[in-house]
Amino acid sequence: MLHGGTPHGGTNIADVGTRNRALVLDLVRRSGPLHRVALARSTGLSAQTVSNIAARLVAEGLVREDGERALAVVPSARTGIGVHLDPAAFEVVLVDLTGTVLAAEHHDIAAHTAPAAVVDAMAAAIGRLRAEAPGRTVDGVTVAVPGPIDTVSERLGTPAQLRPWSEYPLALELVERTGAAVHLEKDAIAGAFGEAWTTPEPEDLVAVHLGSGVSAAAVASGEVVRGSTGNAGEFGGMPVFAHGRWTAVCEACQPLQQVRRAVSAGVLDAEVASDDAAAVRAAYARMCREPAAAGLVAEGGSALGSALAHVVELLDVPRVTIGGSAAVLGGERFLDAVRSRLRDRLPRGPFAEVAFSTAGVVAVARGAACSAIARSLTTAAPVPTARQRTGGSVQARSISHPW
239 band by pLDDT with thresholds 50, 70 and 90: very high
pLDDT at 8: 52
What CA–CA distance (Å, rounded) separates 351 from 312? 9
pLDDT tens-place string over residues 97-112 = 999 999 999 999 887 7
What CA–CA distance (Å, rounded) separates 46 from 53? 11
- Residues sharing a CB contact under 8 Å with residue 157, sequence separation 6 or more, in sequence order: 147, 148, 149, 150, 166, 167, 394, 396, 397, 398
Better pLDDT: 276 or 331: 331
Report the C-alpha dihedral over residues 389, 390, 392, 398, rounded to 10 degrees. Answer: -50
Better pLDDT: 14 or 140: 140
Dihedral-angle region of residue 324 (phi above 0 means left; psi in -120 to 50 means alpha; beta otherwise): left
Confidence (pTM): 0.87
pLDDT tens-place string over residues 44-98 = 999 999 999 999 999 999 999 987 889 999 999 999 999 999 988 999 999 999 9
Contact between 209 and 324 under an 8 Å Cβ cutoff? The reply is yes
Question: What is the bridge-based pairing of β-strands 79-86 and 71-73?
Answer: unpaired
Output the average pLDDT for the chain: 87
Q: Which domains, from first to last, does the chain contain? A: 14-73 (1.10.10.10), 77-193+363-383 (3.30.420.40), 202-362 (3.30.420.40)
What CA–CA distance (Å, rounded) separates 191 from 371? 10
Contact between 256 and 401 under an 8 Å Cβ cutoff? The reply is no
> What are the angstrom distances between the C-alpha of 256 and each of 188, 271, 277, 315?
20, 10, 9, 31
